[in-house]
A and B are shown apart, each in its own frame.
Chain A
Amino acid sequence: MKRTYLGEFEEIVLLTVAVLDGQAYGVALTHEIIEQTGRSVRLNQIHAALQRLEDKGMVKSEMGEPTAERGGRRKRLFSVTAYGRRTLQEIQEVRASLWHRMPNPLNPAMSL
């Protein structure tokens, strides 16, 4: 396969990391994803996904500032790497071209 396989959940996490633009960390990502998708997401799932993404080289991370509600602990801030960005673009392109080639586009208004 040309590129590393990216799961659907991973893709969402990666996109959210891109959306949050430098302010992405465990709790923020969880809340954002819950808000945007309505799924019930658990912290540990986010952490596992981030770990996988980091292993694949799509995100990179650094330790941020400590805050009081974290009990003085630092947070790990994630950002999308160039490779991650390109992967997202490729997925977008593949989807766009597939949508484009659909002879009978799934238009809800028309299907009725």
Chain B
Amino acid sequence: MKTNPHRNQSGESPPQWADRLLGWFCTPHKLEEILGDLHEEFAYQVDRVGVQRARQLYVQEVLGFIHIFPSKQTTDSVFFTFLLHPDMLANYLKIALRTLWKNKVYSGINVAGLAIGLAACLAIGLYILDEFTYDRFNTHYDSIYRIVENQKQASGIYNVAVTPGPLAATLTKDFPDVLQTTRVGRWSGALTQGRKAVEADNMFFVDPAFFSLFTYPLVLGNVNNVFLSPDEVIISESMAERFFGTNWASTAILGKPFKLNSDHTLTLAGVVKNPPEHSHLQFDVLLPFKYLEQYDEWSMKWNSNSYHTYIRLRPETNLVSFTDKIQLQIKRYANESGTTLELQPLRDIYLKSTFDFQTDWGKRSNMLYVRIFLTVGLIVLLIAVVNFINLATARASQRAREVGVRKTIGAQRSSLVVQFLGESFLLTSLAVAGALLLMQSLLPLFNSLSDKSLTLPYQDVRFWFFLLGLTVFVSLLTGLYPAFFLSSFRPARVLKGVFTIKTGQTFRQSLVVGQFALSIVLAIATVVIYQQLNFIQTKKLGFDKSQLLYVRLKGDLRAKALAIKQDIQRLPGVANVSTTTSNLVDVMNSGTIEWQGQTPKDEFLITNMNVDADFMKTTGMSLAAGRNFSAQITSDTSSKLGSYLINESAAKRMGWTPASALGKTIKFWGMDGKVVGVLRDFHFRPLRVVIEPFIFRFRPKDYYFNLLIKTQPNAVQRTLSDIGSVYKTYDATFPISYGFVDQDLNTQYRTEQRTGQIVLYFSILAILVSCLGLFGLTTFTTEQRIKEIGMRKVLGASVSSIVTLLSKDFVKLVLIAILIASPVAWWASKIWLQDFVYKIDVEWWVFALVGGLSISIALLTVGFQSVKAALMNPVKSLRSE
């Protein structure tokens, strides 16, 4: 036998089962004193009448107490609320499941709609979360900043993300708050090791502090003594694998000699871990900045802006005063006019970098798109929530009797509210489960749409908390109104049957209008985005991008450009060839220019590229005035007093018309020359920005970096292989690297294309969910009016008149929605289009098209049910009663 801890002094104890019995029936807060009294009495009775009799008496006493307190429910409601009694909860659950099952269609519509909405929201949420995790792998994430410039020029203020080379050193010297600095410069080229040659995708010049300022750990090599000498190189793991095979880690590769562009010899100082995907800097080869300083004097000058400068500040630094202090740092050293410095926190670099002249070469995204996606995701969810509210209130009449009975029996309003909220919680939980299933199967599609590799973070506890929070939030959102609406019924009225479906109809109608308005806004936005994308693709750029391909020249081929050009020119499929310093896709070179008639302090940056006399023929550009370069005219190629071609924008900027610009003297990069021709404006930047001034030089003796080749139509493939074999005769080590100008130009709009696609899919979802709701609502109203329809048919109404009767109301609602949505959509499109200087006008027919489309979709949805109702045999509906 178990020892009883409560055994009394005489060693006898009362029957335990009686105690337990009392425990079930007695209010817990009274249990202690009652049991105490009982036990004390038992001890007394044992002494008086013996154990046997005392036990009998004890049981009698216990039963007496049970008689007094028939249930746990007493006047004391502190411990027991009627609401949460297990019996009631069981009843709520049973009723909820019964109504769910009884109305399979509505429940299905509700759960499916909500699941779609939630899945959309989850997908968007994951996307946005992913966008915000950029660069967070850095240990010093919060104290790293990039120095950016505000350049004040006569034509406006320009933000650039690049700074002069000497800046970093002065920052460390002048400000004790600066812990570390590193410059990052971009370079391109190929590395050779033994007989293997690899073209680097992203080659950076960095300072030694790069590795510890950021968190890019070295897998091989000592971080404390790399890059102290200029002739070192560090490669990424993937690069190491390409050079030394998969088991590079087990071979001694440190100190191996590499050749950069087959002229300079570098030794391998380390292997750096591949930069994480969520790093705005992506690189595979790193070179010491010292190397650059050896060969490029511009890297040490204050008047050349080419490098990102990153600093790490002491965490306790006062940012406001620090920003004030560094603002004029350039002026202090270089006397540059109006250029001030600013700090850009690392957290902002990926999402909030909008710099002029393409001076930011990190991976980047756009806050605008984060906002667009967020809005779109929330809209889809909102529409699904509205469905839920609509159907729940529309079906109110079915639940009205239940509410009436419950209230008559004594249900509090609060308990009814809890009941209905609980039901929406149940439905929402089902929907969340459905959303997870949907996400699981559709995530690959979404990943390819958004160009990300998102996964559902099942192993993260926070994710589950988020899901729980989402479920509670959405069930409140969906449940609150129906709960208060349903629980407000007056039992007397409801039970007498004075209850019509009209209750809350205005509210439901406005919800339908809101729903459709949102879907229509999304649909119009989709059309506008696609129109703009189409506009971009077909816009005349000022040159002919079709069948135009470029070949990158590497290493010593740059000096042999003219010879290669001649060989390629001879190929049958080639129309024209031109040697250039840029491929027209991303033109990076720019400098300041001086010109005849320039007022002091009036200066601007002009973009430059070196071309040859065949450039205009190859690209199909045309002259506004003057003549093209010619190899026969010696002054064109002279290094003393050269000739320049400029574009119309440049002429305008310097205060000339194309005609008057001819013969004017300008000085670019320290060389005087005359303007011999003015080219018509062409787009060398994405259509987001206005056409900037451009200057061409003809320098056949300098390096050319590219060949632009115009092929004959329909001969691209064969010509490509021909070009490849010509290339091979000049360079046997490196494979040819080429690209098509039109394709590369297109990739500049990848974000826009992606947004267009995502918005397209989401607006389809939105319309689908809206229609789902409309379908449910129609099914319901037709069911309600089934007798009316029967009567009408008996009295001779035609099918079409009944369909019209049933559809009319809904079509009216959609029309109102179109009226509301159009201005909103127009305004939203304007905001998005602001991003482009060259853009479409939003035209009225877009609204008409989308409006017509949504009316026909709504009609189809409503019509299906209406026709079904109208075709029904009236006998069926009228027989009973």
- Residue numbers of A with Cβ under 8 A of B are 25-27, 30-31, 42-45, 47-48, 55, 63, 66-76
What is the CA–CA distance of A47 and B64 in the complex, to the nearest angstrom?
10
Pair A69/B43 contact, Cβ less than 8 Å: yes
29 contacts between A and B (CB under 8 A): A25-B37, A26-B33, A26-B36, A26-B37, A27-B37, A42-B60, A43-B37, A43-B41, A44-B64, A44-B65, A44-B68, A45-B64, A47-B37, A47-B65, A48-B68, A63-B33, A66-B36, A67-B40, A68-B9, A69-B8, A70-B39, A71-B5, A71-B6, A71-B8, A71-B35, A73-B32, A73-B33, A74-B33, A75-B37
3 cross-chain pairs, A with B, having the tightest CB-CB distances, nearest first: A71-B6, A73-B36, A26-B37
Pair B37/A71 contact, Cβ less than 8 Å: no
Known A-B contacts A42-B61, A71-B6; A47 and B34 likewise in contact (beta carbons under 8 Å): yes
What is the CA–CA distance of A26 and B32 in the complex, to the nearest angstrom?
12
CB distance from B11 to the nearest CB of A (A): 12
Interface range for B: 20 to 34
Pair A43/B36 contact, Cβ less than 8 Å: no
Q: Which of B303-354 contact A (CB under 8 A)?
A: none
Known A-B contacts A55-B75, A74-B33; A69 and B9 likewise in contact (beta carbons under 8 Å): yes
Q: Find chain A residues with CB under 8 A from B67 CB.
A: 44
Q: Find chain B residues with CB under 8 A from A30 CB.
A: 41
Q: Find chain B residues with CB under 8 A from A66 CB.
A: 36
Can you list, as one digit per residue, whether each of B67-100 has a CB less than 8 Å from chain A (1) or not (0)?
1100000010000000000000000000000000
What is the CA–CA distance of A90 and B37 in the complex, to the nearest angstrom?
32
Question: Does residue B430 face the partner (Cβ distance < 8 Å to A)?
Answer: no
What is the CA–CA distance of A25 and B36 in the complex, to the nearest angstrom?
10
What is the CA–CA distance of A55 and B75 in the complex, to the nearest angstrom?
10
Can you list, as one digit per residue, whether each of B33-60 has a CB less than 8 Å from chain A (1) or not (0)?
1111111110110000000000000001
What is the CA–CA distance of A34 and B31 in the complex, to the nearest angstrom?
24
Pair B40/A27 contact, Cβ less than 8 Å: yes
Q: Find chain B residues with CB under 8 A from A68 CB.
A: 8-9
- Residue numbers of B with Cβ under 8 A of A are 5-9, 32-41, 43-44, 60-61, 64-65, 67-68, 75
Q: Chain B: which residue is nearest A30 at the CB level?
A: B41
Q: Chain B: which residue is nearest A55 at the CB level?
A: B75
Instruction: Name B's interface SS.
Output: helix
Q: Chain A: which residue is nearest B4 at the CB level?
A: A71
Q: Chain A: which residue is nearest B19 at the CB level?
A: A71
Pair B41/A71 contact, Cβ less than 8 Å: no
Pair B40/A69 contact, Cβ less than 8 Å: yes
Known A-B contacts A26-B33, A55-B75, A76-B33; A70 and B65 likewise in contact (beta carbons under 8 Å): no
Q: Find chain B residues with CB under 8 A from A26 CB.
A: 33-34, 36-37, 41
Contact of A74 among B8, B9, B32 (CB under 8 A): B32
Contact of B41 among A27, A48, A67 (CB under 8 A): A27
Known A-B contacts A68-B9, A69-B39; A47 and B68 likewise in contact (beta carbons under 8 Å): yes
Q: Find chain A residues with CB under 8 A from B68 CB.
A: 44, 47-48
List 15 other contacts, CB 8 Å, given A25-B37, A70-B35: A27-B41, A27-B44, A30-B41, A42-B61, A43-B37, A43-B38, A44-B61, A44-B64, A44-B68, A55-B75, A69-B8, A69-B9, A69-B40, A70-B37, A75-B40
What is the CA–CA distance of A31 and B35 in the complex, to the nearest angstrom?
17
Q: Find chain A residues with CB under 8 A from B32 CB.
A: 73-74
Q: Find chain B residues with CB under 8 A from A55 CB.
A: 75
CB distance from B841 to the nearest CB of A (A): 80
What is the CA–CA distance of A72 and B40 in the complex, to the nearest angstrom?
10
Q: Find chain A residues with CB under 8 A from B7 CB.
A: 71
What is the CA–CA distance of A96 and B199 in the complex, to the nearest angstrom?
119
Pair B64/A70 contact, Cβ less than 8 Å: no
Pair B61/A70 contact, Cβ less than 8 Å: no
CB distance from B680 to the nearest CB of A (A): 98
Q: Chain B: which residue is nearest A43 at the CB level?
A: B61
Q: Chain A: which residue is nearest B61 at the CB level?
A: A43
What is the CA–CA distance of A26 and B68 in the complex, to the nearest angstrom?
15
Pair A75/B38 contact, Cβ less than 8 Å: no
CB distance from A66 to the nearest CB of B (A): 8
Q: Find chain B residues with CB under 8 A from A67 CB.
A: 40
Q: Find chain B residues with CB under 8 A from A27 CB.
A: 37, 40-41, 44
Q: Find chain A residues with CB under 8 A from B37 CB.
A: 25-27, 43, 47, 70, 75
Q: Chain B: which residue is nearest A67 at the CB level?
A: B40
What is the CA–CA distance of A5 and B64 in the complex, to the nearest angstrom?
25
What is the CA–CA distance of A30 and B34 in the complex, to the nearest angstrom?
13
Pair B34/A70 contact, Cβ less than 8 Å: no
Pair B75/A71 contact, Cβ less than 8 Å: no
Q: Find chain B residues with CB under 8 A from A71 CB.
A: 5-8, 35-36, 39
Known A-B contacts A30-B41, A69-B8; A42 and B64 likewise in contact (beta carbons under 8 Å): yes
Pair A74/B75 contact, Cβ less than 8 Å: no
Q: Find chain B residues with CB under 8 A from A69 CB.
A: 8-9, 39-40, 43
Q: Find chain B residues with CB under 8 A from A31 CB.
A: 44
Pair A43/B33 contact, Cβ less than 8 Å: no
CB distance from B317 to the nearest CB of A (A): 60
